[in-house]
Amino acid sequence: MSDVLTSVAPVVTLLDIENAQKRIASTVVRTPTIACPALSRLTGAEITLKLENLQAIGSFKERGAANKMALLTPEERARGVITVSAGNHAQGVARQASLLGIDATIVMPRFTPATKVAATQAWGANVVLAGDDFASACVTAEEIQNKEGRVLVHPFNDPAVIAGQGTAALELLEDAPDIDMVVVPVGGGGLIGGFATVMAALRPDVEIIGVQVEAYASLAAFPTEGGATLGGSTIAEGIAVTQLGDHCLRAFRHRISKILVVNELQVESAITTLAEKAKQVCEGAGATGLAAVLANPEMFKGRKVALPLSGGNINARILANTILRSLLRDGRILRLIFQIPDRPGMLADISARIGNYGGNIIEVSHHRLFASPSVQTAELVVMIEARDTQHATQIETDLARHYIVRRD
């Protein structure tokens, strides 16, 4: 077993985090903490949001990067820094390097979205695209570090980084001292390590729950260790980490009550709910806390629950598609397929019936040649917006009285 895990010395202390708060105050946003009545009504819990999606780079990750880099000696700054990241941490390191005048190299997997590469480069960092995933990118980063003597700013497994992330918890308690539960996304473990340290020192009565996504649920059997991860694509890419940091694990494993696991559809629904109810744009990883609350209502009912929205860096196309998929699942958007006689007036009649029921037609597709079962019929695909599930059912039921129709 790792010496880090068997050591009795704390990874970080409250004093470390309080000092980090002072150290990074001038370069990191003190983000708002807000009550959210709409989510409270929806969940039956008293929901408070810590808006880390409003950081300058759109993520809490800058806190850890800022603290680590502020602690570098003049000689280390002269050598430059290097890190591996597919997104938020990369931007945090790049921005802090720009502010401090430090040369930074960021190694990102080759298939990192172009928007994230561009955002990192915009802060002046040198971006190296290498490897198909985080692990293979780490190999390239190690080679560059050994060759150029740069200082590694690890995305999570560093006490200075954990201390920086913990400053979000200090702010949360200052702004919402009456919370009794906090639900924290878990990827590498830096954020929950910082939260656990603060709560253990200042509010040991606050229950801490971690959340992972199914494909990367290494702690699914918590408190038992050694869970396997499936890997692969996930909308919660910010916590798509196959192995937690040992420093991080030691910082939180005896201080949290449980780990909850959420699936992709639950995360998608949480992203949509945050946009609709809380008016917050949130990436998949940041929405996992709400996903866990929505999936386990009895666990949270009546509790004063804090949710750190850890990041808001979601691609606009992915956000739009996520919302549309959620509306389809909720029945607020209907996609109906009609088999209709191929004669004049059919489309007008169908449109009128939908309009009379208060439905809003979003899209129409009319197929005559290949999709229809007969040359005398046509297939009509109509996408309709409804007020709610009941309204959608009313529209579909009425149309089914007059046409052969099925829901796609």
Give the contacts of 389 (CB within 8 A, at least 6 positions apart): 330, 331, 332
Please give the Cα distance from 368 to 366 (Å, whole number): 7
Please report how the helices 114-121 and 88-100 are oriented relative to each other, as an axis angle in degrees rounded to 10: 10
Active site residue 68: no
218 in active site:
no
Distances (CA, A) of 147 to 80, 98, 142, 316: 12, 23, 9, 38
H or E, element range at 129 = strand 126-129
| Catalytic option among 50, 61, 116, 277 | 61
Q: Which residue type is seen at 292? A: A
Catalytic residue among 59, 85, 269, 310: 310
Q: What is the strand order of the sheet 333-341 is part of?
A: 360-367, 377-385, 333-341, 404-407
Tell me which residue of 325, 217, 219 sits closest to 271, measured CA to CA: 325
Going edge to edge, which strands form the sheet with 104-108?
126-129, 104-108, 81-84, 151-152
Strands 81-84 and 126-129: unpaired
Determine contact, residues 323/236, Cβ cutoff 8 Å.
no
Q: 111 — phi, psi (to 5°)?
A: -100, 20
335 touches 408 (CB < 8 A): yes
Distance of CA 397 to the CA centre of its chain: 38
**CA-based end-to-end distance of the chain:** 53
The residues annotated with a catalytic role in the active site are: 61, 310
